[in-house]
Chains A and B, each alone.
Chain A
Amino acid sequence: MIELRSVQKTFGSNRVLRGIDLTLPKGQSMVVIGGSGTGKSVLLKCILGLVRPDAGTITLDGQDVAKAERDAFLARFGMLFQGGALFDSLKVWENVAFRLMRGASALPKDQARAIALEKLRRVGLTPAVADQFPAELSGGMQKRVGLARAIAAEPEIIFFDEPTTGLDPIMSGVINDLIREIVVEMGATAMTITHDMSSVRAIADRVAMLHAGVIQWTGPVTEMDTASDPYLQQFIHGRAEGPIASVR
């Protein structure tokens, strides 16, 4: 279980997170929604320790993440970055197998490659791309390679930053199913950022909406449509009129 208590982060004069309280129960799929630039990506990076919060505490199973042993802590996580963040000096399969070939329990090369090919297949990529370099792939393909890399070592907790952005509807469906599968079958805990409301409905157990630096609304996905929060309703229906200004 991951718990955030009044987490704050400011960049210069830009108060991005102003006191986030959020609980992510083990084995559940949480989807974070919210306007562009509200700090969703920063929130994930705070939990991973890539960005140091100015105030507040983040705990994983009751232990403060800032004090945790970094290697053991990070070994439990997988992360898909918004921009893919593939290593462009390495081939696609080497990207996917990156963690598998390193550390104490490093696998031999051909075994790691076999797993990488299997993960690529799960995100809808053929073995033909395995020996290409990331720069040779389309944006959506890179995104899927990033996804394959995030799930390659079968981590307990997986963060997906906009997994379906830039994908065609069919591929989005495949990825949504995959994320759902990972949570249900592997019992992983997932936190997904998305702007795609059909993804939200397909992936989420719980939804949290970030607005103005705080969690504006959070609850089970089944209550999302009937909730009375005007910010949430404006957001999920994509209305230009409402409490959320359209120029931000």
Chain B
Amino acid sequence: MTLTGFLAAIGRPVLAALAGVGRVSLFAGSVLSHLVRPPFYAREFGHALMQIGWFSIPVVGLTALFTGGALALQIYSGGARFNAESVVPSIVAIGMARELGPVLGGLMVAARVASSIAAEIGTMKVTEQIDALVTLSTNPIKYLAVPRVLAATLAVPVLVAVGDSIGIMGGWLVGITRLDFNSAAYLKTTVDFLETWDVLSGMVKGAAFGFIVALMGCYFGMTSGRGAQGVGAATKSAVVAASVIILAANYVLTEVFFTS
């Protein structure tokens, strides 16, 4: 392979990736600019809020419950190595609120919501419904993307808070049934050690993750290729992109929030 051929082989995917980042950024900018200009589609927003927020509670709750329980077991057995079993309640609470609640909640929402948004909008694209919207003088970004992105950005922090509570409850359940903690003492330690910022930072992360999830779903849906295959590829890309960006964003936000 010649040197130029080699450089071209590296350059092409890099350029493609940069172009992709550029297109997503432009799309995000367009969504944000439409967010602040009327009309606002309240009915679509309400519908999205139900779909993204309310109906995600079971899956986020179950994830948090089992994670909180497993976390309590792990911290107990890990803590036992240096006689620190008593840290279980506080570490479960801090771990859930700062890290696991938002990240696992975000990932579950990515699986559930980014996929359904991408599939729905992608199908609308391949069946010409997006074209039909345009001919009916309705901006697809305003009508389809803005309500979903706004709903996800507002709903996911609440989901995170619900998940935090259920996760802490999972830890408590395991603590009192399996680890011989006193129920009242467990709860008291949890409350004493948990700071407002622990919970708040997790909710801010949740808002960012919600934005990412809906944005990816809408972007890949609207740029879906033709046919069922196009929609399938769009759905897959939306979930993968949302998940990876959530994890990357989580690292960045953690740096920003917790290193001084």
Contacts and interface: CB of A to CB of B under 8 A. Distances in A.
Q: Is A bound to B? A: yes
Interface of A: 45, 48-50, 71, 74-75, 77-79, 81-83, 85-88, 98-99, 102-103, 149
B137 A85 contact: no
A82 to B, nearest CB: 8
29 contacts: A48-B134, A48-B135, A50-B131, A50-B134, A71-B137, A74-B134, A74-B135, A74-B136, A75-B137, A78-B135, A79-B132, A79-B135, A81-B131, A82-B128, A83-B128, A85-B128, A85-B129, A85-B132, A86-B129, A87-B124, A87-B129, A87-B132, A98-B136, A98-B138, A99-B137, A102-B136, A102-B137, A103-B137, A149-B136
Given A48-B134, A85-B129, A103-B137, 15 more contacts: A74-B134, A74-B137, A77-B135, A81-B128, A81-B132, A83-B128, A85-B131, A85-B132, A87-B129, A87-B133, A88-B129, A98-B138, A99-B136, A102-B137, A102-B138
A71 B137 CA distance: 6
B127 interface: yes
B134 A102 contact: no
Interface of B: 39, 124, 127-129, 131-138
A45 B131 contact: yes
Contacts of B136: 74, 98-99, 102, 149
Contacts of A86: 129, 132
A156 to B, nearest CB: 14
Contacts of A77: 135
B145 to A, nearest CB: 15
A83 B124 CA distance: 12
A225 to B, nearest CB: 34
A86 B129 CA distance: 6
Contacts of B133: 87
Contacts of B131: 45, 50, 81, 85
A45 B130 CA distance: 13
For the complex of A and B, 9 pairs with smallest distance between CB atoms: A85-B128, A85-B132, A79-B135, A81-B128, A99-B136, A50-B131, A74-B137, A85-B129, A98-B136
Contacts of A71: 137
Contacts of B135: 48, 50, 74, 77-79
Contacts of A85: 127-129, 131-132
Nearest to B44: A89
Contacts of A99: 136-137
Nearest to A74: B137
Contacts of A103: 137
